[in-house]
Structure 1
């Protein structure tokens, strides 16, 4: 589903900080903050809600849930050129974005263990395009096949086929170890005008469950009784299509 909204939501104008005063009465207060509030309100209207995607529950991330999940600080990511990859792994706003909102989608099918986080980010047009360029470069860099971010070590970073939709898209996968488990992520970032949408699908690979699944399959155990977590997570096309469609619709209001 190809959706192109070159001037989606007027976010570039909303975040410019130009125009609008208080008639020269000296009472103007932090116009940048007012612009960010306006941009956030527009993103909220475009964000997915319950009922927008069949067979998925939609939850809004609270401010408490985002505490400690800020964008990576300068010098924390090593190599530094891999920072764009890490920035898209949090439900927080990267430095050059003006506003953001996030949603978490989980399947109503209990056998589906993948969750998908969707983050809408408002940028200026030039910054949006530059962010995609640096992100695309990082996914292809051999130096970023493995990188560190604070206490996390990401491995197996590889570019992936990107979906058709928006003005351009970048997709990559990566993983990090958590004891005996492997946290796996597939990230797809779509640009539509000056708005970026980061889709992050995640699941956990459990070696013991995978072994049990293999044994169950060999024994003829029906698939519904297996854990089904051996496959890499994927961003569902239905989620991408629904979010792009809602973004386009919000831009017409």
Structure 2
């Protein structure tokens, strides 16, 4: 039995419309101030309101053909992290150098400290031959915070200090900015990888801002050197592609999922 390669494509969508972010409290009493107090009831109510609006624009079954949509398991909690926007961010000091933290935040369902609320969905292909899984996370921002998030992310992708960085026990390598797509008010794209034993986890992230909506698309796959070698031998021998397991190409974001999420966000803005 072939060892195979688990190919995972993850899309992370961050943000919401200005209307949604504008209805979600004033950022006070969120537990980040002096004393680290709990959020006030009014702040919690505001977060719940924004979360409800995020739920309406999150992808659902039927929005993308050939994909099953589910609420991401464990997306509400992340142990050992700071609480913010209804989700958890990496604790201070875990990402080193610290300026690389924006890169790490885009790789998980954790909410950056300036976001106000979040929802997360996982899309699984209905075609058993397709091993790609997609995760979609939406987080609400205020306009200024959305713009700042893009600025800090862009700076991190270009920083030589972030060509290699650590997030806890994981070391990311090969961080490189990539050509960004045309669309929205601005966009940032980058790729990176991390080792997991003999395997190489590879990610490509594209982040687009439209107003106060920040949309980050993350695609990932796992490279298995042994399976890739077997596939190369199989290809040379004329073995049909469906019988090969290795993943040799860099991950790519699925256009159908991106288009569906952008269309749903645009529809919400038009109402």
Tell me which interval the TM-score lies in, with the shorter structure as reference length: 0.7 to 0.9
Unaligned 5+ runs, structure 1: 1-6, 19-28
Contact 1:175-1:182 at 8 Å conserved across structures: yes
- What is the CA distance between 1:65 and its match in structure 2? 7.0
State the partner residue of 2:161: 143
Q: Which residue matches 1:33?
A: 44
Shift of 1:242: 0.9
Distance in 2, matches of 1:128 and 1:186, equals 20
Q: Distance in 2 between matches of 1:175 and 1:229?
A: 14
* Structure 1 CA distance for aligned equivalents of residues 239 and 230 of structure 2: 10
Q: Are 1:157 and 2:175 counterparts?
A: yes
Q: Secondary structure of 1:53's partner?
A: coil
Corresponding residue number in structure 1 for 2:60 = 49
Partner of 1:220: 238
Whole-Å Cα distance in 2 between the matches of residues 120 and 232 of structure 1?
Answer: 24
Matched with 2:97 is 79
Judged with a 3 Å threshold, the aligned counterparts in structure 2 of structure 1 residues 217 and 63 are, in CA distance, closer, same or farther, namely closer
Is 1:58 paired with 2:69? yes
Is the 2:25–2:42 contact (alpha carbons within 8 Å) kept by the matching residues of 1? no
2:170 and 2:116 mapped to 1: Cα distance?
A: 26
**Equivalent-residue separation in structure 1 for 2:124 and 2:145 (angstroms):** 31
Aligned-residue offset at 1:9:
5.5
Shift of 1:63: 4.0
Q: Deviations over 1:34-76 (max 9, x none)?
A: 1111111111100111221122222211346743383211111
Cα distance in 1 for residues equivalent to 2:255 and 2:68: 16
Aligned residue number for residue 8 of structure 1: 17
Seen in structure 2, the aligned counterparts of structure 1 residues 162 and 108 have a Cα distance that, compared at 3 Å, is farther
> TM-score, normalising length from structure 2?
0.81
Q: Name stretches of at least 5 consecutive residues in structure 2 with no aligned partner.
A: 1-15, 28-39, 82-87
Distance 1:82 1:64, change over 3 A: closer
TM-score normalised by structure 1 residue count: 0.87
The CA deviation string for residues 78-116 of structure 1, in whole angstroms up to 9 with x for no partner, is 111101001111112111100111112233333433322
The alignment of Structure 1 onto Structure 2 pairs a total of residues equal to 237
Q: Distance in 1 between matches of 2:26 and 2:265?
A: 23
Deviations 1:126-163 (A, max 9, x none): 00000001101111111111100101100111112222
Distance 2:114 2:97 in 1: 20
